[in-house]
């Protein structure tokens, strides 16, 4: 995910540019980043756009919104598709507070009854 975030930030770039864009304390071997980029390509998250010398240039093939939606669907699947179980777990873990829920409830109320949009 960190590599994909860098592609969203930088746009079209090489594996080396991704590696160099990571903070010093997060840097790993070039081949590790290269493997991650190739896996992201296999999964359709990035795509090759051109080659300059020996360097392959990649760009994001999926936007953040689509990626996040996929993650949320996968997360909900872990809770049997139940948003209530997910939120209950977040409350128990202290990740979300009742105040947070109230803010979300107010935001949902402003979108109006019968709205099919998802946050």
pLDDT score recorded for residue 115: 53
pTM of the model: 0.70
Domain ranges of the chain: 2-60, 64-110
pLDDT in tens, 59-103: 999 999 988 998 899 999 999 999 899 988 988 998 888 898 888
Would you place residue 108 in the very low, low, confident or very high pLDDT band (cuts 50, 70, 90)?
confident
- 3-state SS, one letter per residue, for the chain: CHHHHHHHHHCCEEHHHHHHHCCHHHCCCHHHHHHHHHHHHHCCCEEEEEEECCEEEEEECCCHHHHHHHHHHHHHHHCCCCHHHHHHHHHHHCCCCHHHHHHHHHHHHHCCCCCCCCC
* Domain 2-60: CATH architecture, name and number where available: Orthogonal Bundle (1.10)
Would you place residue 41 in the very low, low, confident or very high pLDDT band (cuts 50, 70, 90)?
very high
What does the mean pLDDT of the chain come to? Answer: 90
């Amino acid at each position: 995910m960190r590599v994909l975030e860098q592609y969203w930030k930088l746009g079209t770039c090489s594996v080396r540019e991704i590696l160099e864009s990571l903070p010093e304390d997060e840097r790993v071997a070039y081949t590790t980043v290269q493997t991650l980029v190739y896996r992201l390509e296999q999964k359709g998250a990035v795509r090759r756009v051109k080659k300059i010398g020996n360097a392959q240039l990649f760009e994001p093939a999926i936007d953040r919104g689509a990626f996040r939606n996929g993650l949320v669907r996968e997360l909900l699947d872990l809770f049997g598709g139940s948003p209530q179980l997910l939120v209950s777990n977040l409350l128990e873990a202290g990740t979300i507070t009742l105040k947070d829920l109230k803010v979300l409830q107010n935001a949902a109320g402003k979108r109006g009854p019968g709205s099919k949009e998802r946050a």
